[in-house]
A = this chain, B = another copy of it.
C-alpha cells in the first residue's frame, strides 16, 4: 500500500478536484470522474488493474476509514496517492457532509468506437444499446442490470448522458467501471455497427410484435431501449424487430430500469447465459 498523505487544509491544491464535488461535473471535457464509497472504489481498483479503460488518479478518505478499506487500497499501485482528512476538513472540501468518507478521482483512457468494441467481444454476446437517455438514474440502472445479467457491453448514442457522472456511477453501484461501453455516434451508427457484426437486434417497446420471452435465441443479441415515456422513435422502431413486456391492461407503467432488467433477464436466459438459471 502506498503512503498515506494527510491533508490539513481544504484549499490544498493536491485535492482540488474534490472541492465542491456535489455541484461539479468533472466528466465534461477531460473524462475525469468521482468514485464514491467502498463498493465503487473496489470496482475502480479492478478497472485500474486491467488498465485498458480507466485509471485511478488519487484517493481521498476520511481518516477513520483508512483501516476499513486497507485491503482495497492495497490493490492500487503506490503511484496512486492516498490523501486522508479529518471529518471537518473533508466536509469543507466536499461542501457537504460526506458520511461515506470514501472518494477517488478516476479518468477514462479509452476512446473506442462501437465497431471496435463489438469486434472485441466473444462469438456469443449480449449487448444493450440505449438511445437518448438523459436521466442519470436510468443510465446507472442500465449498467447495474447489464452487470447483473452478464451483458458483454453497453452502447450509448451521443444523446445519452455520461455514465461517469457522479449520480449515474453511484446508481450503477460501480458497474459503469466493469461493463465495457462506448458513448459515441448516432443511433444509426450504432445500429449499423451491430448489423455489420451480425447481431439479432430487438427494440423494446410497449407495442412490440413479440412478447420478450418469445424472442428466438441467437448467438449475438442486442436489446435496444429508448427514453422512459417517449420510448424509441418511430423511425427506429420501423426498421427493427420489436419485443414487448407483457403487462396488465391499462397504461404502460414499468419504469425504465425495471423494463431493461426484465428484458435482460429474459434474453440472458434464452441465450443460456445464466449458470444458476
Contact = CB atoms under 8 A, between A and B. Distances in A.
Interface string A67-97: 0000000000000000000000000000000
Contact of A261 (B150, B261, B277): B261
A254 B211 contact: no
A173 interface: yes
Nearest to A206: B276
A234 interface: no
Contacts of A262: 258, 261-262, 265
Interface in A237-277: 244-250, 253-255, 257-258, 261-262, 265, 268-269, 273-277
A113 to B, nearest CB: 26
Contacts of A150: 247-248
Contact of A274 (B246, B255, B277): B246
A211 B275 CA distance: 11
Interface residues of A, number: 33
Contacts of A250: 147
Interface in A116-133: none
B274 A149 contact: no
B269 A213 contact: yes
21 contacts: A141-B255, A141-B258, A144-B253, A145-B258, A147-B248, A148-B248, A148-B254, A149-B247, A173-B253, A211-B276, A211-B277, A213-B277, A245-B265, A246-B268, A246-B269, A246-B275, A247-B274, A249-B275, A257-B257, A258-B258, A258-B261
